[in-house]
Structure 1
Amino acid sequence: MFDWSDLRVFLAIQRTGSLSAAARTLRVNQTTVGRRLAELEQALGARLFDRLPAGMVLTGAGEELLPHALGVEERALAVERAVSARDSAPSGVVRLTCVESLGSRFLAPRLGELHSRHPGLRLEVLTGSHVLDLTRRESDLALRLGKPVEPGLASRKLGRMGFALYGTRALLGARPPVHVEDARGIPLLAFDESLAHLPESRWLAKVMGEAVPVLRSNSTSVLFEAALAGLGLAVLPCWLAEGSGLMRVGAAGEGVEREMWLAVHPDLRRVARIRAVADFLAGLIAREGPRLAGASA
């Protein structure tokens, strides 16, 4: 008889495609993942994955096991959510996912207020462009730029975030461009191709034509620091750029806005610790609303 927890290992490998990535997801070492998979395969008497150069690929036996493993996972998570919902005090771990710039430069300096209110909370802030799955408890709360599209989530709009084009005074000269299009020819900084789908990336490509950026990055923080150093113009969140010494390019209304949404699994939204963090975020964003939206966005 196999250990039911080995199914978590099986699903992690299937979702990530490798032992090392599964180990990072499960927060264990790669040796443990390999051992647990071997034990599961021995217990079932079947090889579940083919180890190919491109990664771990399900065998026929693995394909047959997959829907059953997903069903067990969903039932286990439902039990976990039901038990969590009985919490009465805002204490324990809450995992929040958001984009890197929001987490490091906006939220982190303000989390002391949350800790003062609820010292029993332990917050984990996970940043990056990868969207974590709330239904599988990869995260408890998600602060996203754009309305969540996954089915079955409870979400609410918290506010707006404005983006505009910024550069140093030295780069823009004594007479800064009146309109964004007038800045064509000035060195440009932009997101890399992996983030070309973002509204701010599409807007920049539209207004700057065929300009080739001198720097591309998947990090807002990298673009911000490069813009501060005078390397080029960058589309940045207004709350990040204003007051930094950078000058805004273009007139009021020349920029782009994105909606800020908070998402949670509906079974967890009444859990005290999660509700406490959600209420804090909603209040913080409402209070900082004009700054986040950009006074001239």
Structure 2
Amino acid sequence: MDWDDLRIFLAVARMESLSGAGRRLGLDASTVGRRVARLEQAVGATLFAKTPQGYVLTAEGGRLVAPAEAAEKAAVAAGEATRRETGISGQLRIGAPDGCANYLLPQVARRMCEAHPGLEIQIVALPRVVNLSKREADMAIAVSPPDTGRLTVQRLTEYHLHLAAHEDYLHAHPPISGLADLHGHRMIGYIPDMIFDRELDYLSETGVETAAITSNSVSVQMQAIRAAAGLGIVHDFAIPFAPGVRKVLPDLISLTRSFWLLRHADDRASRRLTLLAEELAQGIRQEVARLEGLYQTKGP
């Protein structure tokens, strides 16, 4: 049985589509389909059932997943055993909420690529938790530790958030001296039914029940605040990227959250991924501290 066919089989099982697997592997969908058919012929069984929702594993396909993942793990270990120790190369896909992906990971990725010229980093910004079981990413950053799944979980760092607005908005609207004053102002926040983690329910901290402008993206929220459209809760580490945005009622509204690094449990044996996870964790900690300190130094 060809390992490369098993690799394609796992990609289809995880992505639940030929096109999705092809994008993950850099192949066209027709090639993926032919390779799956070849594997099915080799094992003498149908491995997938095509449904309106995508390609679903049959009972025979489900039984092949564990052996295929064992082969995948062995292939990764073999590659690491023969790789030169002078640097880490290959692809690393990191899933993250868009605040982290937009304001932290680009700088962290730059430093990691400078340290490892052969490394290719892919940043996947999703308004939900990345599914590591389906190998949507090699590792993921989350805003709360998961309750289920075969994952290793590492707390990275705390970060802080405050109510903020652009100075143009504040100059054009009534002054804000207490929480009661917020009810006369336009608020910006998350679309309520698209809050995928309870840690993102920031608006409740203000005492205001509804927002006039909402988005499932924290970056879109920040752009609305930069456009002087209203007030919203923002990451302190994002404020240096938004000239003119300053904190409002910082002594009354102050939130603390944490980032968590998630990895698939089977990846603990991978020295390469462990080293990259350590560098990523250190980079996130340093960048949060740098940016939060930068705002404190420059002030509003």
Normalising by structure 2, we get a TM-score of 0.76
Could you say which residue in structure 2 is the equivalent of 1:184? Answer: 183
Distance 1:111 1:13, change over 3 A: closer
* Cα deviations by residue, 1:262-286 (Å, 9 ceiling, x for unpaired): 3443213x43x75266236415624
One of 70, 85, 107 as aligned partner of 1:75: 70
Measure the CA separation in 2 of the matches of 1:145 and 1:79.
32
Report 1:118-197 matches (<5 A).
118-132=116-130, 138-147=136-145, 149=147, 153-172=151-170, 173=172, 176-193=175-192, 195-197=194-196
Aligned residues of 1:190 and 1:201 also touching (Cα < 8 A): no
How far apart in 2 are the matches of 1:8 and 1:280? 26
Matched, 1:35 2:31: no
After superposition, the Cα gap between the structure-2 partners of 1:137 and 1:45, relative to the gap in structure 1 and judged at 3 Å, is: closer
SS at match of 2:141: strand
Return the alpha-carbon distance in structure 2 between the equivalents of residues 161 and 51 of structure 1: 44
2 CA distance for matches of 1:193 and 1:14? 32
Root mean square deviation, CA, Å = 3.5
Residue of structure 2 equivalent to 1:101: 99
Deviation track 1:24-60 (CA, whole Å, cap 9, x = no partner) reads: 33332222222223333444555444433343344xx
CA distance in 1, matches of 2:111, 2:45: 53
Q: How big is the shift at 1:250?
A: 2.3
- Whether 1:64 aligns to 2:64 is no
- Distance (whole Å) between structure 2 residues aligned to residue 112 and residue 177 of structure 1: 40
Residue 28 of structure 1 aligns to a residue whose secondary structure is: coil
Contact preservation (8 Å) 1:99, 1:128:
yes
What is the CA–CA distance in structure 2 between the aligned matches of 1:42 and 1:84, rounded to whole Å? 28
| Unmatched runs of 5 consecutive residues or more in structure 2 | none
Partner of 1:282: 282
TM-aligned CA deviation for residue 191 of structure 1: 2.3
Instruction: State how far apart, in whole Å, the 2-side matches of 1:39 and 1:215 are.
Output: 52
CA distance in 1, matches of 2:196, 2:109: 31
Structure 1 residue 288 displacement after superposition: 4.2
1:91 partnered with 2:93? no
Aligned to 2:185, the other structure's residue is in SS state coil
Aligned to 2:11: 12
CA distance in 2, matches of 1:82, 1:51: 33
Preserved contact between residue 163 and residue 248 of structure 2 (Cα < 8 Å): yes
Of 117-126 and 160-169, the range deviating more from structure 2: 117-126
Output the amino acid matched with 2:125.
T
Report the equivalent of 2:257.
Answer: 258
The structure whose residues are more often helix, as a share, is 2
Percentage of pairs with the same residue: 26
1:226 aligns with 2:224: yes
For the 8 Å contact 1:160–1:292, the answer to whether it is kept is no
Aligned-pair CA distance for 1:72? 1.7
Deviations 1:88-123 (A, max 9, x none): 333202513333332333232454444444444443
1:237 CA displacement = 0.9
1:219 is aligned with what amino acid? S
Give the TM-score taking structure 1 as reference length.
0.77
Cα 1:118–1:37 shift into 2, 3 Å = closer
Answer whether contact 2:112 2:279 (CA < 8 A) is retained: no
CA distance in structure 2 between the partners assigned to 1:4 and 1:275 by the alignment: 26
Q: Cα deviation per residue 1:227-274 (whole Å; 9 max; x = unaligned)?
A: 111223222211112563113232325132221233443213x43x75
Tell me how many residue pairs correspond in the alignment: 288
SS in 1 for 2:261: strand
